[in-house]
A and B are shown apart, each in its own frame.
Chain A
Amino acid sequence: MTATQEQPTPVGRDRAARQVSFQNLASKYGLIGVLVIEIAVFAYLKPDTFFTLAQFQSIALTQAVVAILALGAVMPLVVGQFDVSLAFQLGLSQAICAKLIIENGLSWPVAGLIAIGVGVLIGAFNGFLVCVIRLNSFIATLGTGTLVLGITGWYTDNQQITGQLPTTFTDLTRRTVADVPLTMVYVLVLMLVLWIAFEYTSWGREAHATGANPRAAYLAGVRVDRVTWTCFIGAGALAAFSGIVSVSILGASSPSVGLGELLPAYAAAFLGATCIRPGRFNSIGTVIAILVLAVGITGLQLFGAQPYVRDLFNGAALLIAITFAALTSRRTRT
């Protein structure tokens, strides 16, 4: 029972500690390394087309919607739940936002608030199904999502909504501040807010505990249902926000936009869970994952890759990353 018996010699401990900390670093920041290598390789091969300010601005603009959606997906994932209705919520929010501004002539802040309000309501409904009716979240949100898709079609007559949008609204995403696109600022701010919420508040601690062992959390006094519910609501609000950003970028809403973003968003969320806080869904990792995927795809497209490369790349990257994570965690446990 004495302390000296159980501790290895200082030299041995140092070496072991160094080894562990290297492993730690590798798994924490491995994905950032991948990103740096990607950028270096493409910058070397295509210095004129890839390594340009315009290219980075374009990535920031095109990835903003999926990044915000992925941050939304992270919230239920932390508490151990799925929300597959998020992409459909994005579609509905787009439709609401565009239609209210273009056809009903509402000012954009009002339209935006209504869209987010609807997102919160759908999130609350998902939370109700999961926490009160106790449905499996995957199936429940699949149902809600399909319902939302139908509502979107009904609300828009399955038509694109295009028309004159106020420039103050489109400027929200198309402007840059000191060459930094505003969309990037939004993503980074949301990322930081989520990071602080999950790592620096009691609510976040309770959410992580709920996801990892709901029973232990419940008995320790965590209001498990309440925490889960708030995560669904947060996810709904973020999905709605991603819809607004999408309208502002595209200048229109289309019933088909958004559905394609579900799988990339989840790929990024899972890929993000392999870095920064390995083994946990986290917002910084998710944004890094979005960049890794986007830079890789953009680079390949400069070499003339076809659009389907995006899916190939997303799928392969996700499988490789989670396989790697599973293997390393198995090794560290034994």
Chain B
Amino acid sequence: MKVEGLTHSYGPVRVLEDVSFDLRPGEVHALLGANGAGKSTLIKALAGLLSYDSGSIEVRGQHVPRHTTGHALNQLGLAFVHQDLGLVEEMTIAENIALEAGYAHKWGLIDFKGTARAGRKATSELGLDVDPNAPVASLEQDEKVMVAVARAFSLHARALVLDEVSSSLPSPEVTRLLETIKKTTSLGLGYVYVTHRLDELFGVADRVTVLRDGRVVLTSAMADLDKAKIVEAIVEPKADPHTDGAAVMARGWSESDSAAPHPPHAEVSSGPGDVLLDVTDLDVRHHGAPLSFEVRAGEVVALCGLIGCGAKEVARVLGGDLHPRLGTVELESAPLPLGNPAAIRDMGCSYVPGDRQGEGVVGQLSIRENLFITRRGGQGRRGNQVFRVPKAERALAQELADSVTLRPAGSVERPMLTLSGGNQQKVVCARALRTSPRLLVLDDPTAGVDIGSRAQVHKLIRDAAAEGSAVVFASTDYDEVALLADRALVMVGGTIAAELTGQQLTASNVARASYGEGL
């Protein structure tokens, strides 16, 4: 497989720039890069889901036209295995393979014996020792990945893209998976292996390509590299996002944001408040080490790291959405009723969930109703209101909408779904802040949010901290972390690997720490 000069822009932002990349038969080629470096965009382009601006893709010497997807792509020899694998858990291995490759037929009906035979052939060719009549649900995770590979192989795919398939696997299974993969390369199978875990590559990958800001910054044989070199290539070699204004602007920061009325790191030294939030021995994974941290009043703490590092889970625990296996969380010495969002809200904690459409807004209800969705009027239960007077509410809602500069300006009686994503997020934030929470938890608050709304959301977060709230937000955007947070907790594999404050808190230091490297 060969990719040449692939370029793509979203509006003014170049997400891929002249990316060239090739995969030889029998090779494991690791594709690396930080969050937002362009890996997913590249994979989307390969999968035919993106109409890239220029460049070309070839498989086995044949040009692949744009928008070639699914079966047509498999026929050319290219297949994808994504993190969710796309297997039907309740069906057998043979049936899962047959769903794509076609069932064996006899007299016009499905021949299950023949289907099982085909399934056995497909799996045994790859050296898998599994019963084709076993349901997929009964397999170990690494075996499931290999079933997905076998399915692609039986469709004559010889170049496989494994997209973060290891991120949800415990290490022993990852080792086993990689061993199997390595063995199958002797059949002429080539793998593009996308991952965040650098350690697993050694001994498996033949070559490495690193993307950064949509450009290939490194392609090299694995033998010539060590971990430190790879991390340096992934991490931007820039000192401080505040001095490096051009890079910040390129990422889509608005003027008003960089000129926001705060030097974020100064606030800690100007006297932090008392400890509000105390997290002890929290375990968000079933195999991770527990983590502990504190947050003071008026402090903005970022939980960050690579996708899958556990930062999101910690935010969800604090929001009440997730009940951790172990650990306690205390708010001013009172235990937080974990796993019970309503009780946590009653204690004066607000939460802005990560999935805006699915978890944040109620699309059919009006902006006003979304702002006043619960009976809570202020902290605790005292402010609870039984009756709602729409007229009074409307005035308050209008005030709130104006304070977050909701666009387009207009009636707060419009249904929520008429607003853009960014403006919906402003409403969700305004709702979270309306009750002056003691603790504000946000999960990736600016994901998929336009520049203007992003600046507004950042301002709301800083304002909340200035009024004495303890703020915790999870983010995978390191520039945002560096700009917004007083302190960053960098997570690796479900636990805190580094704590960055003050001058040390830069996007590149966060990135370095997220790969488990020292500063």
* B388 partner residues in chain A, CB cutoff 8 A: 199-202, 204-205
Q: Is the CB of B361 within 8 A of A213?
A: yes
Q: Is the CB of B321 within 8 A of A219?
A: yes
- Which residue in chain A gives the minimum CB-CB distance to B319? A219
Q: Mark B102-125, 1 if CB is under 8 A from A, else 0.
A: 000000000000000000000000
Within 8 A of A (CB), among B413-455: 417, 431, 452
Complex: A219 Cα to B376 Cα, angstroms: 13
B341 at interface (Cβ–Cβ under 8 A)? yes
Q: Is the CB of B346 within 8 A of A208?
A: no
Q: Mark B353-390, 1 if CB is under 8 A from A, else 0.
A: 10000111111110001001111100000001111111
B351 at interface (Cβ–Cβ under 8 A)? yes
Query: Which of A3, A201, A216 has a CB less than 8 Å from the CB of B359?
Result: A216
Instruction: Determine the main DSSP class of A at the interface with B.
Output: helix
Complex: A212 Cα to B452 Cα, angstroms: 29
User: Which of A96-104, A220-228, A282-290 lies at the interface?
Assistant: A220-228
Given A219-B320, A221-B345, verify A212-B386 contact (CB < 8 Å).
no
Q: Is the CB of A216 within 8 A of B417?
A: no
A215 at interface (Cβ–Cβ under 8 A)? yes
Q: Is the CB of A215 within 8 A of B359?
A: yes
Complex: A221 Cα to B360 Cα, angstroms: 11
Complex: A299 Cα to B365 Cα, angstroms: 38
* A6 partner residues in chain B, CB cutoff 8 A: 407-409
* B353 partner residues in chain A, CB cutoff 8 A: 216, 219
* B408 partner residues in chain A, CB cutoff 8 A: 6-7
Within 8 A of B (CB), among A166-217: 199-206, 208-209, 212-213, 215-217
* B417 partner residues in chain A, CB cutoff 8 A: 333
Complex: A215 Cα to B190 Cα, angstroms: 42
Complex: A299 Cα to B360 Cα, angstroms: 48
The CB with the most chain B CB atoms within 10 A, among A1, A203, A279, is that of A1
* B365 partner residues in chain A, CB cutoff 8 A: 208-209, 212
* B320 partner residues in chain A, CB cutoff 8 A: 219
Q: What is the distance, in angstroms, from A203's C-beta to the closest C-beta of chain B?
A: 7
* B384 partner residues in chain A, CB cutoff 8 A: 202
Q: Is the CB of A206 within 8 A of B362?
A: no
Q: What is the distance, in angstroms, from B140's C-beta to the closest C-beta of chain A?
A: 29
Complex: A210 Cα to B421 Cα, angstroms: 21
- Which residue in chain A gives the minimum CB-CB distance to B255? A1
Q: What is the distance, in angstroms, from B8's C-beta to the closest C-beta of chain A?
A: 27
Q: Is the CB of B363 within 8 A of A208?
A: no
* B376 partner residues in chain A, CB cutoff 8 A: 221
Q: What is the distance, in angstroms, from B432's C-beta to the closest C-beta of chain A?
A: 9
Query: Which of B341, B360, B364, B386 has a CB less than 8 Å from the CB of A202?
Result: B386
Q: Is the CB of B342 within 8 A of A222?
A: yes
Q: Is the CB of B346 within 8 A of A202?
A: no
Number of A-B contacts (CB under 8 A): 95
- Which residue in chain A gives the minimum CB-CB distance to B414? A20
A218 at interface (Cβ–Cβ under 8 A)? yes
- Which residue in chain B gives the minimum CB-CB distance to A210? B362
Count contacts on A: residues with CB < 8 A to the other chain: 28
Given A7-B409, A200-B389, verify A216-B374 contact (CB < 8 Å).
no
* B360 partner residues in chain A, CB cutoff 8 A: 216, 219
Range for the number of chain B residues in contact with chain A? 35 or more
Given A202-B375, A205-B372, verify A223-B361 contact (CB < 8 Å).
no
Query: Which of B254, B358, B390 has a CB less than 8 Å from the CB of A216?
Result: B358
The CB with the most chain B CB atoms within 10 A, among A199, A204, A223, A280, is that of A223
Within 8 A of A (CB), among B80-113: none
Query: Which of B321, B364, B389 has a CB less than 8 Å from the CB of A212?
Result: B364
Q: Is the CB of A221 within 8 A of B374?
A: yes
Complex: A216 Cα to B358 Cα, angstroms: 7
Query: Which of A1, A3, A200, A216 has a CB less than 8 Å from the CB of B362?
Result: A216
* A205 partner residues in chain B, CB cutoff 8 A: 369, 372-375, 388
Q: Is the CB of B358 within 8 A of A222?
A: no
Query: Which of A7, A204, A209, A221 has a CB less than 8 Å from the CB of B346?
Result: A221
* B385 partner residues in chain A, CB cutoff 8 A: 202
* A204 partner residues in chain B, CB cutoff 8 A: 388
Q: Is the CB of B362 within 8 A of A221?
A: no
* B345 partner residues in chain A, CB cutoff 8 A: 220-221
Complex: A217 Cα to B353 Cα, angstroms: 11
Complex: A203 Cα to B452 Cα, angstroms: 35
* A213 partner residues in chain B, CB cutoff 8 A: 358, 361-364
Q: Is the CB of A220 within 8 A of B409?
A: no
Complex: A205 Cα to B373 Cα, angstroms: 6
Complex: A219 Cα to B361 Cα, angstroms: 10
* A223 partner residues in chain B, CB cutoff 8 A: 342
* A219 partner residues in chain B, CB cutoff 8 A: 319-321, 341, 351, 353, 359-360
Given A199-B390, A202-B386, verify A220-B364 contact (CB < 8 Å).
no
Complex: A280 Cα to B363 Cα, angstroms: 12
Complex: A106 Cα to B370 Cα, angstroms: 49
- 18 interchain pairs (CB within 8 A)? A7-B408, A199-B388, A202-B374, A202-B375, A202-B385, A203-B386, A205-B369, A209-B373, A212-B363, A216-B359, A216-B360, A218-B342, A219-B321, A219-B341, A220-B373, A221-B341, A221-B346, A279-B364
Residues of A that sit less than 8 Å from B by CB: 1, 3, 6-7, 199-206, 208-209, 212-213, 215-223, 279-280, 333
Q: Given known contacts A201-B387, A215-B359, what 9 new A-B pairs fall within 8 Å (CB)?
A: A203-B375, A205-B369, A209-B362, A212-B362, A216-B359, A220-B345, A221-B342, A221-B345, A223-B342
Nearest first, the 5 A-B pairs at minimum CB distance are: A221-B345, A202-B375, A213-B362, A212-B364, A212-B362
